[in-house]
Structure 1
Amino acid sequence: MARIARFSRTTTALAASLWLSACGGGGSPTDSGHQRADSYVMTPFVANDAAAYSPTLAAAPAFQDAWGIAIRPAGIPGHFWVVAGNKTYEYVGDVTGKTVAPCTTAGALCADLAPLAANTVTFPGWPVDIATGNPDIANNHSTGVVFNGTATSFVITQTPSAPSANTTSITAGAKFLFATNFGAIYAWTERKHADGSGYDRADTAVKVFDTRDDSTDCGQFYGLAISPTSDRLYAADFGRDTRGACNNAPAIASVSQSFRIRVFDKTLGGDGRLQEITSTVNGGHAFTNPFAADAAHIVAGDVVPWNIQLVGTHLFVMYAQVQQDPAQPVGTPWPANEVHAPGAGRLAEFDLDGKLVAVWNDGGTLNAPWGIALAPADFGGLSNTLLVGNFGDYDDGGDKGAITAFDTGSRRAVNVARNPDGTPLLIAGIWGMTFGNGDTLGDANALYFASAPNDEADGLFGVLRYPAP
């Protein structure tokens, strides 16, 4: 797939030295210890470049463009799953005062995917860099990831990898599903040993959908969500790839773009592929774009679905403004290319059938928003707010702040996450965000994030905490 061009971001030098920065300002109450209630401290755990980002856990050279992040609920053993490049990376721990095996120190984070040698799962069939013959992770990216807790949903068959104790095939519900920007969806599962001593696992995922299998499709998935009962999977399609990378791209160049949310059933077909049901949900009118004058005919400058995520029992769609295609007439949208500018994004809330619940009033604060998370009651001045990460903010100077906080009652933007000096806290290329589960996967009042500094050439997994006064 051709390089996904976006508006110019920071230079390499700036990305390395200023990957966490701030500008602007604003007032906020302080707590009794004279600490700002809306200020937070960041800790980097994993990065591809140790010299540039000083990760406290590890440097992973292939950890490029860290994007989606997902965890299991408390009480279910598992890992932080962070997707980057053509793999996932898995970590456990970081729970205050608690030692989580295989970590040996209380409060520590560590890598683990026993019994496999590496803490990664690879996505097979990845587009190849013609020059090197290796997977092309510069232009192709894993994006969204979700956990499926229902054993009878999204059932797949795969073979565990050595040295798993039992390498006979597993047929079970996928534990995690993953989206990619080239239109493929992957799934992965595991099998617990009968005596409870461990798991049989595969070190690769299984492809369960690929838009390139349909010469008139060529969609590009930038986000993924799953319903509370795991009966539906939702994907944000950021437009058809009409350039040379997708098969039969010239034949679909004149087809109306389909920037939309797509819906898939929990039951895979006999061919092991997801079954799309978009046309049958809400009478074929699910997730109608509330911001476009003509949702069926998107033009450059419209905001279109860029990510979708479940928060509580509703689905939130983050919209990004689509660029003008420089090779086409004025008004032609450029799929997979978002605008970075203050106000170049919107947020809408839908029910599980794609019926609009509300448009949230961002007040022009959103800038290519992607990640979203609901803050708990003990997250400082931003407690109980809905947090939205602005991927584009760092690029244009970030005068609005990287993480916008919405009041959940009024559905209005009310603040941003800040540094201790009151300036907006910025994280270059912030993507996925989630709070820990308070059990084995992070503290419940700590915000874990994945980001892609240096124009997505680098990757970072870290955490934001409200420090004790």
Structure 2
Amino acid sequence: MVFNGTANFALAPGKAALFIFATEDGTISGWNQSVDPTHAILKVDNSGSGAVYKGLALGSSGGGTFLYATNFNAGRVDVFDSNFMPAMPGSFLDASIPAGFAPFGIQNVGGKLLVTYAKQDAAKHDDIAGPGNGFVDVFDSNGTLLQRLISAGALNSPWGIAMSPANFGDFSNSLLIGNFGDGTIHAFDPQTGALRGQLLIPSGRPLTIQGLWGLTFGNGGQAGDPGILYFTAGIPGPGAVEDHGLFGQIRPQHARDDDRDHDGEGKGKDRD
């Protein structure tokens, strides 16, 4: 899901989608309360071709706004213009990605699109978790590869992506990558991809969040504190994994020390 603050991606004349959703069923829908307060409006249906959308991002190129969706089944990033029409065919290519890995997560970071890759299962629907199973590439908004930023190492089906602010303890101004595969979060140099460390709990053990998905810092407004890392996760219930959802926050140790009235703790490099 992404928030759309532009006047593009209309659901009705003069009514742009405020939120845009992608699904693993291969659909993309938009929501605007003045169009339909209780339902999202279907705008893209690629279920017939087997599309499995895992991630979604917005970006600008050539004066236009585009929607980028990671199609895990097809092993590509599907791009749509501001009218939800297909665009940029053949973009987002990295010939050096090993066979069996596909775009998984995607995030606009400073105008560049960071794409994570995970290993596909036999059905090309879900990831195969495992140490080293992952890559992170950097593309421009036209889908041209700029850099292979991170390969294997600490990655394990990486999905969540966030750039930390200057007040996030030992991992300030770092690129944070969340692993869906093992629920851990690692910090990297945003320019070189060098590993800076792993988020820990106060005892010194790795912070692990089962079913970890999204990572984001607040915007200082209704979306929360810009110094706090917010996360979402799909957690197990009575049935299958991800029956339930979890929304939480992670803050560095100094924030906890300074404000004992708030939930959460962390350890500089760590967590809540």
TM-score between the two structures when normalised by the length of structure 2? 0.86
- Structure 1, unmatched stretches of 5+, are 1-144, 158-169, 192-199, 240-257, 268-273, 326-333, 395-401
Instruction: Report what 2:79 is aligned to.
Output: 263
Aligned amino acid, residue 172 of structure 1: K
Is contact 2:171-2:196 (8 Å) kept? no
- Quote how far apart the aligned CAs of 1:230 are: 6.2
d(CA) in 2 for partners of 1:290, 1:364:
20
Match of 1:206 in 2: 41
Runs of 4+ in 1 over 6 A off after TM superposition: none
Computing the radius of gyration over CA atoms, which structure comes out larger, 1 or 2?
1
CA-atom RMSD, angstroms? Answer: 1.8
Q: Aligned residue for 1:146? A: 2
Ranges in structure 2 where 5+ consecutive residues have no aligned partner: 258-272
Question: % of aligned pairs identical?
Answer: 38
The one-letter amino acid paired with 1:292 is: I
Instruction: Please report how far the alpha carbon of residue 410 of structure 1 lies from its aligned counterpart in structure 2 after TM superposition.
Output: 2.2
Match of 1:459 in 2: 245
The superposition leaves residues 338-382 of structure 1 with CA deviations (integer Å, 9 ceiling, x where unpaired) of 111110111111000111111113451000111100000001111
The equivalent residue for 2:197 is: 415
- In the other structure, the counterpart of 1:354 is 143
Matched to 2:3, the amino acid is F
Match in the other structure for 2:68 = 234
Alpha-carbon spacing, 1:340–1:437, altered in 2? closer, same or farther (3 Å): same
Instruction: Work out whether 1:291 is the aligned partner of 2:96.
Output: yes
- SS of match in other structure, 1:266: coil
Distance, in Å, in 1 between the alignment partners of 2:117 and 2:96 is: 9
- Give, in angstroms, the shift of residue 290 of structure 1: 4.0
Deviation at 1:222, TM superposition (A): 0.7
Q: For 1:416, give the aligned amino acid.
A: Q
Normalised to the residue count of structure 1, the TM-score between the two structures is: 0.51
Residues 16-35 of structure 1 correspond to what in structure 2 (within 5 A)? none
| Superposition deviation, residue 203 in structure 1 | 1.6
- 1:277-330 Cα deviation digits (max 9, x unpaired): 132xxxx3x11134335xxxx4xxx2210121111110010100112x2xxxxx
- In structure 2, the partner of 1:322 is 120
- The one of 1, 18, 21 equivalent to 1:178 is 21
Q: Counterpart of 1:445 in structure 2: which amino acid?
A: G
* Inter-partner Cα distance in structure 1 for 2:57 and 2:247: 21
Structure 2 contact 135–152 (Cα < 8 Å) conserved: no
Work out whether residues 389 and 431 of structure 1, in 8 Å CA contact, stay in contact via their aligned partners in 2: yes
What are the Cα deviations for residues 253-273 of structure 1, in whole angstroms up to 9, with x where unaligned? xxxxx2100110102xxxxxx
Is the CA contact 2:71–2:78 (under 8 Å) kept in the aligned structure 1? Answer: yes
2:268 aligned partner? none
- Could you give the per-residue CA deviations for residues 435-467 of structure 1, whole angstroms, max 9, x where no partner exists? 011123211010111001222122101110113
Q: Which of the pair is proportionally richer in strand?
A: 2
Distance 2:192 2:75 in 1: 29
Q: Distance in 1 between matches of 2:135 and 2:72?
A: 15
| Superposed counterparts of 1:268-347, under 5 Å | 274-279=84-89, 284=90, 286-292=91-97, 298=99, 302-323=100-121, 325=122, 334-347=123-136
| C-alpha distance in structure 2 between counterparts of 1:289 and 1:304, whole Å | 10
Where 2:126 maps in the other structure, the secondary structure is strand
Aligned to 2:228: 446
Distance 1:393 1:304, change over 3 A: same
Instruction: Tell me which residue corresponds to 1:156.
Output: 11
What SS is found at the alignment partner of 1:227?
Answer: strand
The aligned counterpart of 1:138 is none
**For 2:153 and 2:140, how far apart are their aligned partners in 1?**
24
Structure 1 residue 172 displacement after superposition = 1.3
The one-letter code sitting in structure 1 at the alignment partner of 2:16 is: G
Amino acid at match of 1:459: G
Deviation of 1:385 (Å) = 0.3
> Which runs of structure 2 are paired with 1:385-400 in the superposition (5 Å)?
385-394=174-183
Deviates more, 1:409-418 or 1:222-231: 222-231
Q: Deviations over 1:150-180 (max 9, x none)?
A: 11x11112xxxxxxxxxxxx74111111000
Give the letter aligned to residue 183 of structure 1: G
Partner AA of 2:198 in structure 1: V
SS in 2 for 1:427: coil
The answer to whether the Cα contact below 8 Å between 1:363 and 1:412 also exists between their aligned partners in 2 is no
SS in 2 for 1:361: strand
Shift of residue 204, structure 1, vs aligned partner: 1.1
Asked if the contact 1:375–1:383 (Cα under 8 Å) also holds between the matched residues in 2, the reply is yes
**Equivalent residue for 2:57?**
225
